[in-house]
Each structure stands twice: as C-alpha cells, then as structure tokens.
C-alpha cells in the first residue's frame, strides 16, 4: 500500500474498488476464465458501481478521476483477477485516445457511448507488424471525402464485444511515422469482418480477436486529427496506457505475495511452517520489496501525467518493472506452493499464466528498454 497519505475522496473510491474486487470479481474469476468470454455481468455491475471509464473527464459526463486514482483502482481490480480487470479497464485506453486525438464531436459522441455501456477496441497490431508500428500494412486510400481501407489486425482486445474500433492505417506508405492515420470505425461498417476469439494462455476473460478490412469505406469525418497524426496519437496513448498495464502487474504481484504468505504460514515441512525456512522467507521478502518498488514506479508514472509532465521514461520503467515483477512473483508463488502450485485447485497457477502477457502487450519489455535507452540519452 502507498506510504503517503490519501485524500478522503481517494480513500472512498479505493474502498469501493477493493470491495467490488472482493465481492463481485474474485468469486467469479475462475468461472469467467473457463468461459473465456467478455464478462458482461461483471461489466454491468462495475458500471452501476461507477468503476468504468473513470478517466473520462466530468466535462464529458465521466467521473474524471486523476490517472493516479485510476491506476490505484486498476491495481485493486487486478488483485482479484487481472483478466477481468483488463476487460473492464481497456475502455480507459480508448478514452485516452479520444482525449488525445479526437475532435470535440468525436469525444462527445464516443465517450458518451462508452459511458452508456458500450465497449471500444484499439486496433494497431497486425500479423506482420507488432513492435514495428511503422511497419503497419493496412492501407487507407483517399477517395473524395472517403477512405477505402484494406488490411487486417490481430490480437485486438475486447474485439468480440466492441461496438467501435480505433483503427490505425497507412495513409501515405512512403512517409514513415507521418504516414499513419487513425480512424474511428463502427463494428457494422460494410467490409469489416470480425475473426474468431484467439485462444490464449491466460487472461481468458479478456478476449482478443482478429479484424479484417475488405474494401471498407470510412468517411474523412471518422479520421482522428489530421492525416498523418496516427503515430503521434499512438505514442501519447502509450504514455497513458503503460501505467495501466503496470497497475495490472502490481495488483497481480500483490496477490502473489498475499497468497504465498498465507500458504507459507500454514504449510509445514520438517517441523515448522515453511515461511520459517530461510529460502522461502527470502522469496517472500523479495516479493514484498519488488511489489512495493513496482507500485511506487507506477504511481510516479501516473502522477507525472496528472501534473501535465512528460512521463515516457517513467511509463516504460513502470510497465517493464511491474510486469517483470509479476512474471517473477507468480513463478515464485507456484514454487512456494510446491506441487499444489501446479494444481488448478489453487489460485497461483492462474496468476502464473495471467502474468506472462503483461511483458508482451502495450509494447514488449524489449521495446520498453529501447525506449528507456533513447529517453535517457536525450539531450
């Protein structure tokens, strides 16, 4: 938990998030994991509780929480289930993209629709271009006031239930970074086809699918910003979404610590609780220390955003450290549980599976380290 003081308002929203996570998410996490579909019922309850779309400013009808509050809420939801938390939190990233790159009309329309319960998708990655954003091959060719879009996307989270997508496409294939543009695309646009749910290792309640665009016509009014603004929008969104992924990692690491400690106090071996064996105690100490360090880095990356300062370096630090910590802590949690750690009867095998992708999405941790080196060597 943070070592600094929280305001009364922060305490209230965090208590609400913690209680929702404990009562409405944790008991159903395994069920949604098995169903491997978007958790509609949990989503509806979270909406009633006021825990969705929390970054949408009051001016657009949202709760207007600060980024720090948002990531502290996300951490608490992720403690219950990082897959459910991801499915519920992704709309905040869509809201960020709208706030960063949308026109007033687009903000009012799409933020309003999300506040009314709709879900959006963020369609950047393609089969041949993930880390290499500039390598995107989906093409948007201008035809009068419209664009003709052809191409495909993969790994688009919440795509099976999204009613609209932010789609990144090349409007000028020869212009590198400035050849990318972003479009708001309705799910029932002729020429847009949704692929099947992609089967995955973990975070199964946070579904992902492919999208295909075949001669899809989108009007210029659906473009976000000017032609060529896509790359700059995407990079600004990453600075906001990476603290969110870091918060998912912090919540998961805290859960690993809590589960490991409880088990290690109860389980005995060679005449004493295993927590009293130094090698087990040391793992738990390390888990506590790394989780707290990840939390502080994550809070820092969000606080900079709240103060309107550049946080690219700190967002990369937080995302990388928190996701590496989650992957490490979940592996150690399985180890502390011994054979039971490998059993689906206990919670830690799911934590282990859920943690891995945090090192991959929102830019892999290798890409984050490239960003850190670049940011650290800036003049």
Span near ligand FAD by CB under 6 A; candidates 76-84, 246-254, 331-339, 356-364: 356-364
Active site residue 309: no
> Taking the C-alpha atoms of 65, 79, 265 and 343 in order, what is their torsion angle to the nearest 10 degrees?
180
Nearer to ligand FAD (CB atom), residue 14 or residue 180:
180
CB of 145 to ligand FAD, least distance (A): 27
- Cβ density class 298-329: b for 16+ within 10 Å, e for less: bbbbbbbbeeeeebbbbbbbbbbbbbbbbbbb
Contacts of 163 (CB under 8 A, 6+ apart): 113, 118, 119, 120, 186, 187
Which of 95, 57, 75 has the alpha carbon at shortest distance from 14? Answer: 75
Nearer to ligand FAD (CB atom), residue 134 or residue 141:
134
CB of 8 to ligand FAD, least distance (A): 35
Beta strand residue intervals within 254-352, DSSP E: 268-269, 272-273
Nearer to ligand FAD (CB atom), residue 167 or residue 284:
167
Nearer to ligand FAD (CB atom), residue 154 or residue 311:
154
Contacts of 232 (CB under 8 A, 6+ apart): 101, 177, 225
Nearer to ligand FAD (CB atom), residue 149 or residue 284:
149
Task: Quote the crossing angle between the two packed helices 67-80 and 278-306, to the nearest 10°.
Answer: 150
- Cβ density class 336-370: b for 16+ within 10 Å, e for less: bbeeebeeeebbbbbbbbbbbbbbbbbbbbebbee
Q: What is the Cα Rg of the chain in Å? A: 21
* Residue 322 found at the interface with ligand FAD (CB under 6 A): no
In whole angstroms, what is the distance from residue 44 CA to residue 264 CA?
37
* Residue 205 found at the interface with ligand FAD (CB under 6 A): no
- Supply the DSSP symbol for 50: T
CB of 366 to ligand FAD, least distance (A): 3
Contact with ligand FAD (CB under 6 A): which of 113, 142, 200, 267? Answer: 200
In whole angstroms, what is the distance from residue 283 CA to residue 127 CA?
39
CB of 121 to ligand FAD, least distance (A): 6
Nearer to ligand FAD (CB atom), residue 68 or residue 78:
78
Nearer to ligand FAD (CB atom), residue 162 or residue 264:
162
CB of 56 to ligand FAD, least distance (A): 19
Span near ligand FAD by CB under 6 A; candidates 16-24, 49-57, 141-149, 153-161: 153-161
> Site map for ligand FAD, 65-94, x if CB under 6 A?
------------------------------
Q: How many amino acids of this chain bind ligand FAD (CB under 6 A)?
A: 19
* Residue 364 found at the interface with ligand FAD (CB under 6 A): yes
* Residue 208 found at the interface with ligand FAD (CB under 6 A): yes
Footprint of ligand FAD on 111-150 (CB under 6 A): 122-125, 130-131
* Residue 366 found at the interface with ligand FAD (CB under 6 A): yes
**Given the residues 24, 33, 332, 362, the one annotated as active site:** 362
For 49, 56, 74, 346, the CA distances from 92, given in Å and listed in that order, are: 16, 7, 10, 31
> Which residues form the interface with ligand FAD (CB under 6 A)?
122-125, 130-131, 155-157, 200, 208, 357, 360-361, 363-364, 366-367, 370
Active site residues: 362
């Amino acid at each position: 938990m943070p070592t600094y003081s929280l305001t009364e308002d922060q305490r209230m929203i965090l208590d609400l998030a913690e209680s929702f996570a404990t009562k409405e998410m944790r008991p159903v996490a395994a069920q949604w994991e098995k169903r491997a579909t978007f958790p509609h019922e949990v989503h509806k309850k979270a909406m009633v509780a006021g825990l969705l779309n929390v970054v949408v400013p009051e001016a657009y009808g949202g709760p207007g929480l600060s980024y720090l509050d948002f990531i502290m809420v996300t951490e608490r939801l992720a403690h219950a289930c990082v897959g459910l938390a991801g499915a519920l939190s992704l709309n905040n990233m869509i809201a960020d993209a709208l706030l960063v790159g949308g026109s007033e009309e687009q903000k009012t329309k799409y933020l309003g629709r999300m506040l009314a319960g709709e879900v959006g998708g963020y369609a950047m990655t393609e089969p041949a271009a993930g880390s290499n954003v500039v390598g995107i091959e989906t093409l948007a060719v201008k035809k009068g006031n419209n664009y003709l879009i052809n191409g495909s996307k993969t790994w688009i989270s919440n795509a099976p239930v999204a009613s609209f997508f932010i789609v990144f496409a090349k409007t000028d294939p020869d212009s590198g970074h400035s050849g990318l543009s972003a479009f708001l695309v309705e799910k029932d646009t002729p020429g847009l086809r949704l692929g099947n749910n992609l089967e995955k290792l973990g975070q199964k309640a946070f579904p992902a699918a492919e999208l295909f665009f075949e001669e899809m016509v989108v009007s210029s009014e659906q473009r976000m910003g000017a032609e060529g603004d896509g790359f700059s929008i995407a990079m600004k969104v990453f600075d906001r979404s990476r603290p969110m992924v870091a918060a998912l990692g912090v919540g998961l690491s805290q859960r690993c610590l809590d589960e490991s400690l409880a088990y290690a106090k109860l389980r005995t071996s060679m005449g004493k609780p295993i927590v009293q064996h130094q090698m087990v105690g040391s793992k738990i100490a390390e888990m506590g220390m790394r989780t707290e360090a990840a939390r502080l880095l994550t809070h820092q990356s969000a606080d900079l955003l709240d103060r309107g300062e550049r946080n690219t370096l700190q967002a990369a630090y937080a995302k990388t450290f928190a996701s590496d910590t989650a992957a490490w802590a979940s592996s150690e949690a399985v180890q502390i549980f011994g054979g039971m750690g490998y059993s689906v009867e206990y919670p830690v095998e799911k934590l282990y599976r859920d943690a891995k992708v945090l090192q991959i999405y929102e830019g892999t941790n290798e890409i984050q380290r490239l960003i850190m080196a670049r940011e650290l060597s800036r003049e």
